[in-house]
Structure 1
Amino acid sequence: MTQHSRPDPATLLPAAVGVTLGAQALVVLASLVLPVIGALVLPAMGLPQSALGWYAAALFGAGAISTLVTPPLVARFGPVRVHQAMLAFAGSGLLAIASGQAAALLPGAVMIGLAYGPANPASSALLARLAPARLRNRVFSIKQVAVPIGGAAAGVLVPVLAAAFGWQASVAGLGLLLAVAALVIQAWRRRLDAGAGAASGPRLALWAPLTALAEGGAPLRLGATGLCFACVQFSFSAFLVTVLVGVAGWTIAAAGVVLTTGLLVSIAARLALGWVADRVAPARVLAGLGVAMAAACLSGLALGPGTPALAVHMVAGVFGFAAFGWNGICLAEAARMAPAGQVAAATSGTMTMIYGGACLGPALFGAALAGGGGATWGLLILGGFALAPLAWLR
């Protein structure tokens, strides 16, 4: 298909945003099912609450691997086909967890992680082709509200379903929902994947996403920033409900609402910050968010059984604004720095480091809980990660 025969990108952009946002939101929901109802699931499996840290590490470790292999898959099959595969893998992971067997937890985490990894490289390749440069940060930030939308849905919906139908039936039902969604987006596949297959070849290999990082400079600094911020973001989403239930004595449903509060704030934050980053140097915006994350971590030290609910929601809101507000800006910068035709590879390189943080942060936080240090040491560690990028952001 020639360039002249393709539809106007402006007419395809809304559909592209809708497909990528919806699919990623469902995969994010799948990734947070266990963290939200872990207080029910893990005892039923005979596992300690600290196992959430290793679950998250396995999930995002698999995500790091799958993001590396995404560029050739996008080139060969197209970004929408990759999104369909993501939904199928994540649904299969939920079905494995729904079995209730402890031995199925790790395979379930890996399946969901394999689904999580391709989301940003695949969507970035599509949106970078369709979005005008003047709107890049806004378009990428709009798509990135998939993360808080999926998380907010998990925080509200999953506890309600678990209470009404039991956790196993609820998790299995969500797995089937993702399978149906994979079929639904087939309607847009031909138009949005036009030209898929033309760029396939052996040169789009595993090392392609790491090339820019290996050269150092701005791409490496951006990836290191993503790693540090991901430590905070994914520790917050993985452990907030468990900490509120185990330390502060909250119910699962009430703690899930607190998680939803933070994620709803992050929706507005991502949209607003994308607009700001189109007008202010993105590095300055990212540095400011690092300071805000550190402040949220310090505020979290004061949370306990006697903390007023309003204060808990306010801390969650600050986390939502800062720890979830940076992603769209980071991915837009990765796309901007990418050579022509290498957006998926460049995004995969950045995402590899982000997933490194997604593994490292929850593992360290889980180790702090298991070691008797409680949430205090975990929050101090996360605060250090939040401030570290100020040393190189410029």
Structure 2
Amino acid sequence: MIIFRTRKKVQMDDLNDENLQKKPVVVLTRLPEFTLNALQPPTPQQFDSEAESRGSSDSDMLWEPGDDSGDSDFGAKKKTQLKHNNSKHKKANEVTVPSPLVSINNNSTSNSSVCNNDSNTTIKAALVSPVIVSAAFASHSNETRNVRPDLPEAEITLDMVVLARRRVTRWQRGKIVEIIKKDDGRVKYKIIFDEKGKSLVSGHHIAKETTPKLDQLYVGARVLIQSPEDEQCFLPGLLSELPSRKNRLRFLVFLDDHTPVYVSLPSLYLVCRQMDDPLGDLAESPHKCFMTQYLRSWPYPHLTHYKEGQILKIELNGVYQKCQVELVDCSLMKVVFEENGETDWIHRGSLRLEHMSKFLELKQNRGSKADDSDSK
């Protein structure tokens, strides 16, 4: 019995020993990044995010050039396509990429301790074509307004100094010397230009020589900017972006010759009488086709994503020519043509881009096939 009591006492003492008592322990294990991405759906980066870098191509969808990117990427033998499964945000940040193109989330290219040489090789193999994204340009209605504001029309009076159309793509400063009212209700204005000459024009061919107010402007409005080559000449175009964080508070204007340019408010002149059809003054041309598609898709414009130094092909004088991206500025990029070293600013959704042209062609063909199947 003595031994029994002794052993029991020892057991009780052991249980009271703090070193032998069980304590809860939390063990943290780092999961691979691909596991985290699978558990959490990608969150689209909004266009007005303040976290984006200056060199960003304004979306959470980025791409890297491949080794054979000097030629068209549509002939590559093997492509990898990674799809977003976040249907909730499809309209707000819709990635529209046809099968020949490749999309990849930038989260999968971030630095991680679990990355190895094989995964890096796979990523480089996938990133061989630019992503084409259709994403909300901005979140605030004042930044995406594409309907003419319900405001009184600008008053046009006798002896007013205005900017009036002298030729199709050339407007000049002049004075209204006569206002003629036609029997059918139309009103014509007789203009005498500062540089001699006169013309009889309609109200939609006259712009006030004053800076418009921001609430008067909207995407699709006819505007003028001063020619950088001739101070006496003003160039007509269509307003294509309103100021937002995305474009660093500037206006994007597409001139009637398809040239895109970012300008500030003091550089804009608003046409007095806007036409019901904003494209009514444009001749039938590839530019008019582009602007039709652009205004129809706004505020979800199609944009390709290129990086500085990338080689691509752009149409020039009816032929696709190789050029290199020198600078990306919001919706525009500056390219240098390899053949002659000339530079050009081009919109990242322009039909002159080989990838964009083929993308829209594929999209149109798919839509035609879908319509044919529905009709059967």
TM-score (normalizing by structure 1): 0.26
Q: Which structure carries more helix by proportion?
A: 1
The structure whose RCO (Cα within 8 Å, separation 6+) is larger is 1
TM-score (normalizing by structure 2): 0.27
Q: Which structure carries more strand by proportion?
A: 2
